[in-house]
Amino acid sequence: MYTSNELGVLNNYATEPMMYYAVYPSPSQQRRYALLGACATLFVTALTLTALAVS
């Protein structure tokens, strides 16, 4: 999408996506997020302890 003024200079604009409201996650999605968070915490803890053990 673009416009031009009387001198022929173009003004380019990015197309804007449609707006929508976020939907609160369902209980099953909340459990999945909690499980992923626990797994990520366990993974980071294991990496940190491995790094400390190696050094």
- Per-residue pLDDT averaged across 6-28, rounded? 86
Global pTM reads 0.59
pLDDT the model gives residue 2 = 65
- Per-residue pLDDT averaged across 32-54, rounded? 98
Which helix (H) or strand (E) segment holds residue 3: the answer is: strand 2-4
pLDDT the model gives residue 33 = 98
Taking alpha carbons only, the member of 2, 20, 22, 1 closest to residue 11 is 2
Does residue 48 have a pLDDT over 90? yes
